[in-house]
Amino acid sequence: MFESLRRLFGLQRSRPVVDAAQWARVEAALPFLDFLDPGDRLRLRDMALDFLEIKQFHGAQGLQLDDDMLLAIALQACLPVLNIGLEAYAGWVGVVVYPGDFIIPRREVDEAGVLHEYDDEVLGEAWEGGPVIIAWFAGAQQPAGVNVVIHEFAHKLDMENGGVDGLPRLHAGMSRSTWAAVFSAAYDDFCAEVDRGVETVIDPYGAEHPGEFFAVVSEAFFETPTVLQERFPAVYDQLSQFYRLDPAAGQIRHQGRCNRRLPD
Ligand SMILES: [Zn+2]
């Protein structure tokens, strides 16, 4: 057991100690980690422990955070930066966790000066220079086809160079114009699909905004990589260069291994 209470209250933080049974229990709920090779999985565990050491967690609306939840969040938060580095998450410390869908009361004044008040149901929010807010769903309550943690941390990467515009800070050797051309073509195509009412293979929420499209395809990149690669191969290729990972190849290797274990 590690000391989540100490961390919750921002007291002296120490590196958590996680035993094999706890890793196995937490990772069993994150089957897409199987797409990493064994060396990468160990590096991810190590990075997750670093993340728990440097970030502060807070359970909102009475949610009690337990060690398994913190570890599951840390593993998923670190997956996108496994080959980018935790420095990409520098400049802020807070992770606020709400139970299930949470409601944010909104007040907005429109162009005509009329005040609109409404309840916004959200799964998460990421603030530039501020905390990441995520909804926690226990086990089977997790909405299908959605990864709240990867989504919000993809927004954090997008914001690193200012704004949520679907263009994160690209690595040396990557082309901004290629990225923009690939993503805008895919986004237009995807929005047209959603407008036609077609059942999409990735979350239709991605049609809300180019920044949401980047977050949604990032979720798919890690959770259902072969599906994303088949539907938007050029987007998959750009994400593979950005995240410096090839989870589709990992998924194919993993399924090959599983299939060979099946009896004739
Ligand atoms: Zn979003």
> DSSP letter string over 100-163?
SSEEEEEEEE-TTS-EEEEEEEESEEE-TTS-EEEEE--GGGSPTT--HHHHHHHHHHHHTTSS
Stretch 147-160: mean pLDDT, rounded?
A: 94
Q: Write down the pTM of the prediction.
A: 0.88
pLDDT in tens, 57-91: 999 988 999 999 999 999 999 999 999 999 999 99
Residue 42 has what pLDDT? 96
User: CA 28, 158, 130 angle in degrees (round to 5)?
Assistant: 85
pLDDT in tens, 134-146: 999 876 677 777 8
**Cα(220) to centroid(ligand 1), Å:** 14
User: Where on the phi/psi map is residue 85: left (φ > 0), alpha (ψ -120 to 50), or beta?
Assistant: left
pLDDT in tens, 88-109: 999 999 999 998 867 777 788 8
14 or 213, which is more confident? 213
Residue 263 has what pLDDT? 55
**Cα(96) to centroid(ligand 1), Å:** 16
What is the chain's mean pLDDT, rounded? 89
Given a contact cutoff of 8 angstroms between Cβ atoms, the answer to whether 83 and 41 are in contact is no
**Cα(260) to centroid(ligand 1), Å:** 39
Stretch 248-259: mean pLDDT, rounded?
A: 88
194: number of Cβ within 10 Å: 16
**Cα(151) to centroid(ligand 1), Å:** 6
pLDDT in tens, 187-239: 999 999 999 999 999 999 999 999 999 999 999 999 999 999 999 999 999 99
Q: Output DSSP code: residue 81.
A: G
Confidence tier at 114 by pLDDT (50, 70, 90): confident
Question: Taking Cα atoms as reference points, which of 102, 99, 88 lies closest to residue 50?
Answer: 88
Adjacent-strand bridge partners of 97: 59, 134
